[in-house]
Amino acid sequence: MKLSMKWLADYTDVSEYSTKEYCDRMTATGSKVEGWEELGDDISGVVVGRVLEVAPHPDADKLVICKIDVGAADPLQIVTGATNVTEGALVPVATDGSHLPGDVKIKKGKLRGAVSEGMLCSIAELGLTLHDMPQAVEDGILILSDCGLDTLPKPGENVKEVLDLTDTVVEFEITPNRPDCLSVIGLARESAVSHEAPLRIKKPEFRGIGNGISSLLSVKDDAVDLCYRYSAAVVKNVRIAPSPMWMRRRLRAAGVRPINNIVDITNYVMLEYGQPMHAFDYACLDGSDINVRRAADGDGVRAIIFRSPCIALFRPEKRCKVNTEKCTGCRRCIRELGCPALVRDGERVKIDASLCYGCTVCETVCPFGAISH
C-alpha cells in the first residue's frame, strides 16, 4: 500500500516529524514500512518560461531560436526543434545546470552554431506521460496553459510546484490480518494514534435525486456469504473527460494510472476508503440487472481466453531487450508497468527473457528508446 503524505495531511498532521521518524514510529506500532520515495527529487532547476520570440535558425531548417522570459533580468536564448512553440506560450524551461529524470544534466551549449542556454521540456523529459497530462502533445513541448491549471503561472516559478510534482510516498507492507489499513483513511487512523495527533474524518454525504432506481436497475445477490452487501446507483448526464490534476497526481503517487474522470473517481474512492468500486456503462448492460454470483455457478463454457498464447506453453519468437548504452537507469518502465520481466541490474534495467512474452509495451514507455525487440 502506497501512501501519499500530501493525501495523508487531509486527515491528520504529522508534519512535525521527519519522514524517517514517521516511518520508524509506524513500523514500531505494527504498520511495517518497506521504504519511501521523494517524488520530484530527480528534477531541479526547471522553471516556467514565457516565449517572447520565435525565429528561424539561420543554419538549420528544422530548428528555431527562442527568446524566453524566465523571470530574470535578461531573457534566455534557447534552440529547439519543437514545432508547437509559439510566441506567448508558457513552457517548462530546464536552465543551465538543471537536472531531469534519468540523471540528465542540462548545460549551456551551441546547436548548429547558435547558443542555447537551456532546454524546453516535453512531458517525457519531466518523467510524465499522456495519462498524467492528457492535454499535452506527446511529441512536442509541454504548453502549461493547456494543462488545466487553476491559475496561470508566472515566468520564473518552479515547475515542480506548478505541476504538483513533489510528494513523499511511503510504502507499507500490510499483513492479511489488517485489511483496515488498505486505505488512506485506515493508515491515517494508524498514523494519528502512533503520533498522538488529531484525526479528521468527514462523513461522506450521498445526495440522491429522484425516487430511486428500481425502474432503471435491479441488483440480485446470489452469493451473500461472499458479498453480503452490493449497492448501486445510476448517474445520468455524465461527460467523459480527464480528471483534475490534483486527482491524477494523487492516483499516480498511489501507483494507479489515471484514465478518465469516471474510472479515476472509482479508484480514488477505493484508495481513500478501502471500498472497491466499479462504474458500468448503462447502455452496455445486458438488460437492467446486475447479478452477483459465484463464477463457477455460471452457465456456458468455463475458460479464460487470451489474445496471446500463454508464455508457459508457447515461447515467443522475439523478446524485448535493453540497450545498456541508452538505458539511464531511471526505472520508469518498472514503475509504469510492474512487469515481472523488468528487473533491476545494478544501476540499469534488464529484461528476464524467461518471463518476457514480447508484448512490446515497455518499448512505448521508455523515454530514451533503450528497449527494442
Q: What is the pLDDT of residues 265-314, one digit of tens each?
A: 999 999 999 988 888 888 777 777 888 888 765 566 556 555 555 555 55
218-297 has which CATH code?
3.50.40.10
Whole-model pTM: value is: 0.74
pLDDT at 72 over 70: yes
Domain locations in the chain?
2-40+166-194, 44-162, 218-297, 321-372
pLDDT at 171 over 70: yes
Q: Quick one: how many helices (H) and strands (E) in the chain?
A: 8, 17
**Length of the chain in terms of residues written:** 373
pLDDT at 260 over 60: yes
Q: With contact defined as beta carbons under 8 Å apart, do 155 and 162 qualify?
A: no
pLDDT at 232 over 90: no
Q: With contact defined as beta carbons under 8 Å apart, do 116 and 53 qualify?
A: no
Kindly provide the b/e burial profile for residues 163-184, where b requires at least 16 CB atoms within 10 angstroms of the residue's own CB: bbbebbbbebebeeeeeebebb
Q: For position 282, what pLDDT does the model report?
A: 83
Q: Is 338 left (phi over 0), alpha (psi -120 to 50) or beta?
A: left
153 band by pLDDT with thresholds 50, 70 and 90: very high
Q: For position 158, what pLDDT does the model report?
A: 96
Q: For position 85, what pLDDT does the model report?
A: 93
Q: Running DSSP on this structure, what letter comes out for residue 126?
A: G
Q: For position 307, what pLDDT does the model report?
A: 56
Assigned architecture for domain 321-372:
2-Layer Sandwich (3.30)
Q: For position 331, what pLDDT does the model report?
A: 81
The mean pLDDT value for 242-250 works out to: 92
CATH classification for the domain delimited by 2-40+166-194, as one of 3.10.620.30, 3.40.190.10, 3.30.56.10, 3.40.50.740: 3.30.56.10
Q: For position 362, what pLDDT does the model report?
A: 86
Strands 2-4 and 90-100: unpaired
Per-residue pLDDT tens over the stretch 79-94: 999 989 999 999 999 9
Query: What distance in Å separates the CA atoms of residue 94 and residue 92, rounded to the nearest whole number?
Result: 7
Q: Which residue has the higher pLDDT, 280 or 53?
A: 53
For residue 259, how many other CB atoms are within 10 A of its CB?
A: 17
What is the radius of gyration, based on Cα positions, of the chain? 25
172 band by pLDDT with thresholds 50, 70 and 90: very high
Q: Which residue has the higher pLDDT, 139 or 80?
A: 80
Instruction: Scan for cell 528561424, then name that residue.
Output: 56
The mean pLDDT value for 187-213 works out to: 87
pLDDT > 70 fraction of the chain, expressed in percent and rounded? 93
pLDDT at 212 over 80: no
105 band by pLDDT with thresholds 50, 70 and 90: very high
The cell for 21 is 521518524
Q: For position 297, what pLDDT does the model report?
A: 56
The mean pLDDT value for 120-140 works out to: 89
Q: For position 94, what pLDDT does the model report?
A: 95
pLDDT > 90 fraction of the chain, expressed in percent and rounded? 52
Q: For position 298, what pLDDT does the model report?
A: 56
Q: For position 357, what pLDDT does the model report?
A: 75
- Class of 44-162 in CATH: mainly beta
Per-residue pLDDT tens over the stretch 317-365: 677 889 988 888 888 888 777 788 888 887 888 888 777 877 788 888 8
The mean pLDDT value for 37-63 works out to: 93
